[in-house]
Amino acid sequence: MINANNPSLKSWIEVSSESDFPIQNIPFGIFKLGTNSDGRVGTRIGDKVIDLSVVAELGFFAELNIDISVFFDSSLNGFIGLGKDVTRAVRERISELFQDGNSEVKNSDELNRIVLDVDQVEMLLPVEIGDYTDFYSSEQHAYNVGCMFRDPNNALLPNWKHIPVGYHGRASSIVVSGTPLHRPKGQQKPNDDEPPVFGPCKLLDFELEMAFIVGKSTELGDSVTTADAEDHIFGVCVFNDWSARDIQKWEYVPLGPFLAKNFGSSVSPWVVTLDALEPFKVAGSKQDPKVLPYLEFEGDKNYNINLDVIIETAEGQSKQVTRSNFKYMYWNMCQQLAHHTANGCNINVGDIMASGTISGPEEGEYGSMLEISWRGTKPVPMPDGTERKFIHDGDSVVMRGFGEANGIRLGFGEVRTKVLPAKG
């Protein structure tokens, strides 16, 4: 076992039993302190953010013999680019410094520069994202959408169980949790017998997804095998792939998602490493028909992570509308990456690859309003007496992810996005 994952470890920083950030987590993120400062690299334990640039500057990483300038960067790309041997050693060293019984940092004169209250800092986008890909890897989601738009008897297209279907998204509009988004405008065709119209999207939706961050680049022409894939995945975040269903419906044939998707996607700020997620691994569902050899894999590659979606009204009344789970993925991340690079497509550190909407088999486990309200036919009652078929202006959508294993709760925190009215 990786030492930092040892469930018996405790930190000298207080961690409540409800926290997503026990000492076994040690995620990485970019934060800034005050309006004038630049972003730098931090980690989190309980409700404390730890400034790793100060930890490094004070020499606590000296024995690792690494270029500590990466901790002063405003993205994780430099740090991640040091490679998994190094980032793993840093995580292990942080675990050592902050566990009960170790007073190296605890007794430091600079403790107040190292350990910050989470309320003191602003979290920024964790990586500089070169490219973003979104998959479509939850069978229940693909089935539900197929039922609604085609036919329950042929809900899955013939390629779906052979290919981890995906599309290339837009990296420029990915924002970190807390960044509000304006309702998109676009072309829609609400009435089959009339010409299209232009205006604010009326069917604004979320998509509950997880996203992995590429940790190791490849050369053009190279392919990553499923066996090597984990070496190329640094960590995972919760991801909301905002979707404009009315724009999507009119535009998506023949080339797929475009303006219905690229107006914004929201990502949680803390990247939880694949190492930290190791105890949450579970088997996925059996893949039948048998996949082609380049998509075969060994071992458990799914993760038992509960995923919640909450809608909060402008007045602050909230309702949980979904509890799904990352384990419901039909195609796992290793298969997605193997498929993405099978043709020689190169990948770069900081690229984001999102899972696709993750829906479970039961009602109550669906990952989008499209499915929850079944195209608007089953509105969701809200505590204030209103109802939701899709997302209203002023609503905030909050997604959270956490798992429990060996008595340890470990999670991702949240990705929260408020919807503002369309601009202009």
Stretch that binds Mn ion, among 199-207, 227-235, 319-327, 363-371 (CB under 5 A): 199-207
Stretch that binds Mn ion, among 11-19, 72-80, 210-218, 239-247 (CB under 5 A): 239-247
Q: Are strands 29-33 and 121-124 parallel, antiparallel or unpaired?
A: antiparallel
Stretch that binds Mn ion, among 129-137, 146-154, 194-202, 369-377 (CB under 5 A): 129-137
Q: Going residue by residue from 100 to 119, which x/- string records binding to Mn ion, judged by CB under 5 A?
A: --------------------
- Nearest one of 144, 10, 116 to 55, comparing CA atoms: 116
- Provide CB contacts within 8 A for 403, sequence distance 6+: 277, 279, 280, 303, 304, 305, 306, 409, 410, 411
CA–CA separation, 55 and 221 (whole Å): 39
Q: Contact with Mn ion (CB under 5 A): which of 20, 51, 131, 134?
A: 134
Q: Are strands 380-381 and 233-240 parallel, antiparallel or unpaired?
A: unpaired
Which residue, 134 or 230, is less far from Mn ion as judged by CB?
134
Contact 248, 256 (CB under 8 A): no
Contact 302, 329 (CB under 8 A): yes
CA dist 409 → 15, 16, 25, 243, 399 (Å) = 11, 10, 9, 31, 17
Which residue, 115 or 358, is less far from Mn ion as judged by CB?
358
Most distant pair of Cα atoms in the chain: their distance: 74
Nearest-approach distance from CB 209 to Mn ion, in angstroms? 6
Which residue, 20 or 241, is less far from Mn ion as judged by CB?
241
Nearest-approach distance from CB 110 to Mn ion, in angstroms? 44
Which residue, 125 or 145, is less far from Mn ion as judged by CB?
145
Start-to-end Cα distance in the chain? 55
Contact 43, 52 (CB under 8 A): yes
Burial-class residue 313 by CB neighbours within 10 Å (0-12, 13-18, 19+).
middle
Nearest-approach distance from CB 202 to Mn ion, in angstroms? 19
Nearest-approach distance from CB 15 to Mn ion, in angstroms? 33
Q: Going residue by residue from 313 to 352, which x/- string records binding to Mn ion, judged by CB under 5 A?
A: ----------------------------------------
Contact 305, 332 (CB under 8 A): no
Structure tokens at 124: 């920024």
Which residue, 239 or 412, is less far from Mn ion as judged by CB?
239
**Nearest residue (beta carbon) to Mn ion:** 241
Q: Contact with Mn ion (CB under 5 A): which of 241, 246, 251, 414?
A: 241
51 binds Mn ion (CB under 5 A): no
Which residue, 134 or 139, is less far from Mn ion as judged by CB?
134
Q: How many residues of this chain bind Mn ion (CB under 5 A)?
A: 3
Nearest-approach distance from CB 281 to Mn ion, in angstroms? 24
Stretch that binds Mn ion, among 234-242, 324-332, 373-381, 394-402 (CB under 5 A): 234-242
414 binds Mn ion (CB under 5 A): no
Nearest-approach distance from CB 336 to Mn ion, in angstroms? 13
Which residue, 68 or 354, is less far from Mn ion as judged by CB?
354
Position 336, amino acid? Q
Stretch that binds Mn ion, among 12-20, 85-93, 126-134, 172-180 (CB under 5 A): 126-134
207 binds Mn ion (CB under 5 A): yes
Contact 366, 372 (CB under 8 A): yes
CA–CA separation, 225 and 70 (whole Å): 29
- Catalytic residue numbers? 141
Nearest-approach distance from CB 305 to Mn ion, in angstroms? 17
- Give the other-Cβ count within 10 Å of 276's Cβ: 23
Site residues (vs Mn ion, CB under 5 A) = 134, 207, 241
